[in-house]
Amino acid sequence: MTLDASPTAATQPPFRPKMLIRPAIAWITVTLFLVFGSDWMAQLSRHEIGLALFAWLFFVIVWVAFGVVHEAEELAGMFGEPVGTLVLTLSIVIIEVVLISAVMLGAGDTATLARDTMFAVLMIVLNGVVGLGLLIGGIRHHEQAFNLHGASAYLAVIIPLATIALMLPSFTSSTPDGTLTPIQAISFSILTIALYGMFLWLQTGRHKGYFVAPKATSDANEPETPPPPPRKARKSEIALHLALLLINILPIVILSKSLAKILDYGIAATGAPHALGGIIIAMLVFTPEGISALVAIRRDELTRAINLCLGGAASTVGLTVPAVLAIGLFTGKTVVLGLPPASIVLLASTLVLSSLTFSGWRTTMLEGAVHLSMFAVFLVLVFSP
């Protein structure tokens, strides 16, 4: 995904005290949960306590996730590609896999959690964020141009990855319940990693120009020249941002276990659909990038928003599937990836609609309204399948 370059070292001081505000609050939360967490968890039956703890953890994790994205973008501006893209992608995927793993390793029924989370991410990104963004962009700018080459490349990867991971397991005859045999799990994981790895190689190499905004001249159909090389940064500055990235990620890893317990208890106590857990994790993971995408669309930077949205969808399926299947194989936990029939229809329709939306060089309000209608159908099916 395309990232904005950071300010030069001459205009940006290497350290600012406000950099520590997010991690400081996160680590204070970690300390409080390590000291008092057991007592608080024993009182989850008091719904007001459980709701307050969930809201607290949700806010802190989302806020710190913004810090992770910020530090990853700072490093991307220093390292350039492909390291910059890998830093941001791996940072987000680490958060997602950690949250999924924490819930999967709990005592509840979590066989479908990974499937529900990936499906929720695709629906939130491809229908919710894209739909709202195109609607806002259409109202503000009437029509918006984007780089068709990049959008087509993203969809060319998302469609087979989503089909292999979420649709195909429902139709294989080796297992009747949407799971995969060990041979299938290993083979599909290798294939998924290889396909996504090739995409990253092309995105950050010879076809880098496909993922930048098109020219504003009559040659708008041609991709822009590749972005300038990364700015030079001192080793101390790189080490600072690497350290900040680490101290922003670690609290999320530690707090995810407490959030998983509260989430498990809340779903069981309220009788809420299991898919709601996947939606909550998807919101935690993608909220920072989603807001960044909407801000970019408002500034008429649709190509950047597409890179954030479609790039997030591609990395979710391309990297989360192998990680989750590996957890299932090593721990013996059942992992159900195959979607139920109604969800398969919705996912297939979304992929076709996305291909049509990004088949031209401009978008309007109409595409946004149609995607939002699909997102509304998804929400209805969660609570009334």
CATH number, domain of 58, equals 1.20.1420.30
pTM of this prediction? Answer: 0.81
C-alpha span between 89 and 284 (Å, rounded): 15
Cα separation, 316 vs 76, in Å, equals: 19
pLDDT at position 89: 66
Minimum mean pLDDT range among 22-31, 70-79, 287-296, 370-379? 70-79
pLDDT above 70 for 216: no
* Chain segment 70-98, per-residue pLDDT in tens: 787 777 677 654 455 567 667 777 777 77
In a domain, 327, yes or no: yes
The pLDDT assigned to 13 comes to 52
Question: Whole-angstrom Cα distance, residue 256 to residue 164?
Answer: 28
The residue ranking higher by pLDDT, 311 or 186, is: 186
Residue 10 lies in a domain: no
* H or E element at residue 122: helix 113-123
Residue 113 inside a domain? The answer is yes
CA angle 294, 295, 299 (to 5 degrees): 115
Q: What is the DSSP letter of 223?
A: P
In a domain, 9, yes or no: no
pLDDT the model gives residue 339:
92
pLDDT above 80 (res 64)? yes
Q: Which domain holds residue 235?
A: 17-383
Q: For residues 258 and 49, give the distance between their C-alpha atoms in angstroms, rounded to a whole number.
A: 13
CB neighbourhood size of 82 (10 A): 15
Q: What is the predicted pLDDT for the residue at 240?
A: 82
Which residue is it, tokens 């391309």? 318
CA dist 185 and 328 (Å) reads: 9
Q: Residue 292 falls within a domain, yes or no?
A: yes
Indicate the range of 38-52, 89-103, 106-120, 293-307 predicted with least confidence: 89-103
Residue 7 belongs to a domain: no
pLDDT band at 235 (very low <50, low <70, confident <90, very high): confident
State the DSSP code for 19: G
Q: What is the mean pLDDT of residues 203-231?
A: 60
Query: Residue 308: its pLDDT value, please?
Result: 81
Residue 18 has pLDDT above 90, yes or no: no
Return the pLDDT at 111: 81
Which H helix or E strand runs over 159?
A: helix 148-162
Helix (H/G/I), strand (E/B), else coil: 173: coil
Distance CA 307, CA 216 (A): 19
Sequence-distant (6+) residues with CB within 8 A of 198 are: none
Residue that wins the pLDDT comparison between 120 and 84: 120
**Amino acid 127: pLDDT:** 93
Please, which residues have CB within 8 angstroms of residue 297's CB and are 6 or more apart in sequence? 133, 134, 136, 137, 144, 305
Q: Using an 8 Å Cβ cutoff, are 77 and 231 in contact?
A: yes
The rounded radius of gyration (Å) of the Cα atoms in the chain is 21
Judge whether 375 lies within some domain: yes
Strands 362-363, 144-145: pairing is antiparallel
d(CA 85, CA 174): 37
pLDDT (0 to 100) of residue 192 = 92
When divided into structural domains, the chain yields a total of 1
Place of tokens 């680590």: 27
Whether the per-residue pLDDT at 1 is higher than 50: the answer is no
Half-sphere exposure of 206 (CA within 13 A, CB side): 3
Kindly tell me the sign of the dihedral angle through the C-alpha atoms of 216, 219, 223, 227. negative
Whether 114 is in a domain gets the answer: yes
Tokens representing residue 271 in the block = 């009788």
Q: Contact at 8 Å (CB) between 115 and 336?
A: yes
Nearest to 90 by CA among 337, 320, 330, 326: 320
pLDDT at 85: 55
Q: What is the overall mean pLDDT for the chain?
A: 81
CB-based contact 85:208 (threshold 8 Å)? no
Tokens of 70: 């910020």
**pLDDT of 220 over the 50 cut:** no
Tell me the pLDDT band of 8, cut-offs 50, 70 and 90: very low
Give yes or no for residue 4 having a pLDDT over 70: no
| pLDDT over threshold 50, residue 316 | yes
Question: What is the residue whose two structure tokens read 């290889």?
Answer: 194
Q: What is the pLDDT of residues 331-367, one digit of tens each?
A: 888 889 999 999 999 999 999 999 999 888 788 888 8
User: Are 130 and 321 a contacting pair, CB within 8 Å?
Assistant: no
